[in-house]
Amino acid sequence: MKVRIAALAIALQVLLVHVALASAADSLEQRADQKFEANRKTEVTVRYHHANTAVTFKDQFIPIRFLFGRSTDQINWNNHTKTASVLRNGKQLILATKSFNPSKKQVVWPHEWFVFKDGTNYVNVMYLNQIFDRYGKYEADSEEQKWAQKLGFLGITYIDSIYGGKDGIQHVFVMFDEQA
């Protein structure tokens, strides 16, 4: 009996180690996809300077002007290079539809994480949610931590999200630094 219990304990330990390693090996995209209820209505509430603005969108793609319009210095579109930029505190988030060589003060958002449609740039909030997840506990060398450091200039303190269940809406709360 003791041998069976010991064998079961060892098997369970091996299984748990395997599951932990498999989750660590998943990419940021895979982890975000597992956590976020994509392709459903998404209500986004942006809090900046003690004021909330909430809008419901048909999916997880949110216009950059809605997300960053009140919290940044400038949002630009360069029709020649087909790039959008979000400027804050001398640094830029670049959304480029073609390859782009950034300077030291520019961070390029992966083109798989946004869409340009009908003259508007939309960020897939699922990835911002993964990076700035209020309750996410990430290793220092994780993709999430690296992205959070790169995007720190945007002033996002945290993001909270929850699937509403009965209303069928993914609720996302984006908190910006109140001191900004």
- pTM for the predicted model, two decimal places: 0.78
Q: What is the pLDDT of residues 130-152, one digit of tens each?
A: 999 999 888 888 999 999 999 99
The stretch 151-175 carries a mean pLDDT of 92
Task: Give the confidence band of 17 by pLDDT, cuts at 50, 70, 90.
Answer: very low
For the chain, report the end-to-end CA distance as a whole number of angstroms. 63
Per the model's pLDDT, the better-predicted residue between 4 and 137 turns out to be 137
Bridge partners of 122? Answer: 63, 115
Per the model's pLDDT, the better-predicted residue between 89 and 165 turns out to be 89
pLDDT higher than threshold 90 for residue 79: no
Per the model's pLDDT, the better-predicted residue between 16 and 62 turns out to be 62
Domain spans of the chain, in order of start: 28-176
- The DSSP secondary-structure symbol of 148 reads H
Q: What residues have CB less than 8 Å from 117, skipping those under 6 apart?
A: none
Question: H-type helices in the chain, by residue range?
Answer: 2-25, 28-35, 64-68, 125-131, 143-150
pLDDT higher than threshold 70 for residue 11: no
Report residue 157: phi and psi, to 5°.
-80, -50
The span from the CA of 10 to the CA of 99, in Å, is: 49
pLDDT higher than threshold 60 for residue 92: yes
The stretch 17-27 carries a mean pLDDT of 54
The span from the CA of 156 to the CA of 36, in Å, is: 18
